[in-house]
Structure 1
Amino acid sequence: MPYDYTDHRIDDVDRRILYALMNDARNASASRLAEQTSVSGATIRNRIHKLEDAGIIRGYTAQVDFEVADGHLTNLYLCDVPVTKRQALAHEARAIPGVINVRTLMTGRRNLHVLAVGEDTSDLRRIARRLSDLGIHIEDEDLVEEEVFAPYGPFNPESAGPAAEPNDFISLTGNASVIEVSVEAGAPIAGLTLETAVQERLLDDQTLVIAIERDDRELTPHGDTVVKPDDIVTVLSRAGDDTAALEVFRESAPGASRR
């Protein structure tokens, strides 16, 4: 089915979740993802729900070898259809018994790919006839021998840098920036109210906490709001150099003291 474009902006936590789900959704538990991203399991579950609602995660499917399962054949039909009828014909093709996947391409020839499973070659010919009856021109077809999947590399947490780095970063005019960062357990600010953090000069007038995501809740920060480990904090920094703004959310080095 077609999806509307979304304005949902993914950050590093979202990317790590998506990578883990693409790599092995069955074993990507909320607790395991929480350990990898330095946030709580409830935050992971909330993020997954948001990714689903935004249409970024569109479903979870099993990868089945139909030849091993029941001796069936998998066939790929490379088809050409008028662009104006592409979406409608894709939905009609998907309704044919045996069709398991339909992919539409933006332009050019072979702009409709149909993947189907049949008991034998005669069953695959039946599917081909049904496609032709819909007005879908089959330019080429072939049996699928093997299909290999892999997660999207840039979302790999192993190459995304340490969790202490910003989850997300937006540069604004006038050297200002909006930073999203996860609070580590040993961070100087963890366990303090925002008011106390200001009094202890962990936060200054160039650094403003504008939002806190905790478990499945979005909090509006106030002076008496306590910053907790695993919180995802959005900070407006006007300092130009964001190193100091991030430092208070990182785990302190052994022997380090608060400023």
Structure 2
Amino acid sequence: MVGKEIDNVDKGILYLLQQDARGNTVTEIGERVGVSSSTVANRINRLEERDVILGYHPIVKYREAGLGHHLLVSATVPLTEREELLDDIMEISGVVSIRELLTNKENLSLELVAHTQEELEESLEDLDRLGVHIERMEIMKQERANPYNHFGKEFADEKTDG
């Protein structure tokens, strides 16, 4: 079921948070979407309560942080066990994200990081012990993110006269 529609102010707020959640203050966001900073703070709280916003995560250059092994893993788990396995998978050392896909094969996309190849192999063995069938592994070179433009680049234009 699709959630309740959001208005143009919320779209502008979401766009700016996706663009730079840390650098855009509620005052700056308010100026850009044409509302007060307190309204922005209230809107953000409401979006968090409605699970529209689930968190704020930096994009990390793992190599620069000393984690030279960064993999994207496509995996398959039985559909009947997928939901109960997700928490166990997140507990495995090195697993930093899981994307659940609506398909019968390759229904999970995992992101793993490690300092060494040995640590990476341990994480993969732990996944295997849980019954996660690894279909494909790819070395990640870099990641970029962009705000979803439907969330309102046009609603985040400068609203100030100055």
Output the TM-score relative to the length of structure 1. 0.58
Instruction: State how far apart, in whole Å, the 2-side matches of 1:27 and 1:34 are.
Output: 13
Amino acid at match of 1:128: L
Cα distance in 1 for residues equivalent to 2:32 and 2:115: 43
Query: Shift in Å at residue 109 of structure 1?
Result: 1.3
Q: What is the SS of the residue equivalent to 1:79?
A: strand
Residue of structure 2 aligned with 1:77, choices 73, 80, 103: 73
Query: What is the aligned partner in structure 2 of residue 19 from structure 1?
Result: 15
Match of 2:149 among 153, 170, 187: 153
Q: State which of 29, 45, 50 in structure 2 corresponds to 1:33.
A: 29
CA separation of 1:54 and 1:106: change in aligned 2, threshold 3 A: same
Q: Structure 1 residues 131, 12: closer, same or farther in 2, change over 3 A? A: same
Structure 1 residue matching 2:22: 3-state secondary structure? helix
Deviation of 1:33 (Å): 1.0
Q: Which has the higher contact order (CA 8 A, sep 6+)?
A: 2
What's the secondary structure of 1:70's corresponding residue? Answer: coil
Identify the residue that residue 134 of structure 1 maps to in structure 2: 130
CA displacement at 1:157 relative to structure 2: 2.7
Q: Does the CA-based 8 Å contact 2:31-2:158 persist in structure 1? A: no
Distance 1:162 1:52 in 2: 23
The SS at the match of 2:120 is: helix
Paired amino acid for 1:36: R
Q: How big is the shift at 1:162?
A: 7.6
For residues 173-201 of structure 1, the C-alpha deviation after alignment (integer angstroms, 9 at most, x for no partner) is xxxxxxxxxxx9xxxxxxxxxxxxxxxxx
Partners of 2:67 and 2:113 within 8 A in 1: no
Q: CA-to-partner distance for each residue in 1:203-254, whole Å, 9 max, x for gaps?
A: xxxxxxxxxxxxxxxxxxxxxxxxxxxxxxxxxxxxxxxxxxxxxxxxxxxx
8 Å CA contact 1:6–1:54 kept in 2: the answer is no
Query: For residue 57 of structure 1, what is the amino acid of its counterpart?
Result: I
Aligned residue runs from structure 1 range 219-234, under 5 A:
none
Separation in 1 of the partners of 2:157 and 2:120?
50
Provide the alpha-carbon RMSD of the alignment: 2.2
Between the two proteins, what is the percent identity of the paired residues? 32
The runs of 5 or more residues in structure 1 that have no matched partner are: 165-183, 185-259
Q: Measure how far apart 1:27 and its partner are.
A: 1.1
**1:88 and 2:84 aligned:** yes
1:195 corresponds in structure 2 to none
The residue identity in structure 2 corresponding to 1:141 is M
Q: Is the 8 A contact 1:17 1:33 kept in 2?
A: yes
Choose which of 55, 63, 68 in structure 1 pairs with 2:64. 68
**Rounded Cα–Cα distance in structure 2 between residues aligned with 1:59 and 1:68:** 23
Which contiguous aligned blocks of 4+ residues in structure 1 show a shift greater than 3 angstroms? 5-8, 160-164
User: How high is the TM-score relative to the length of structure 2?
Assistant: 0.91
Task: State the shift of 1:141 in Å.
Answer: 0.7
- In 2, the alpha carbon distance for the partners of 1:38 and 1:161 equals 8
Aligned residue runs from structure 1 range 176-255, under 5 A: none
Counterpart amino acid of residue 150 in structure 2: P
- 1:111 is aligned, of 81, 92, 107, to 107
In the alignment, structure 2 segments of 5+ residues that lack a partner are none
Using the TM superposition, give the Cα deviation of residue 72 of structure 1 relative to its aligned residue in structure 2, in angstroms: 2.5
Tell me if 1:49 matches 2:21.
no
- CA gap of 1:67–1:42, structure 2 versus 1, over 3 A, is same
Q: Is the 8 A contact 1:6 1:55 kept in 2?
A: no
| Aligned-partner residue type, residue 85 of structure 1 | E
Q: Which has the larger radius of gyration?
A: 1
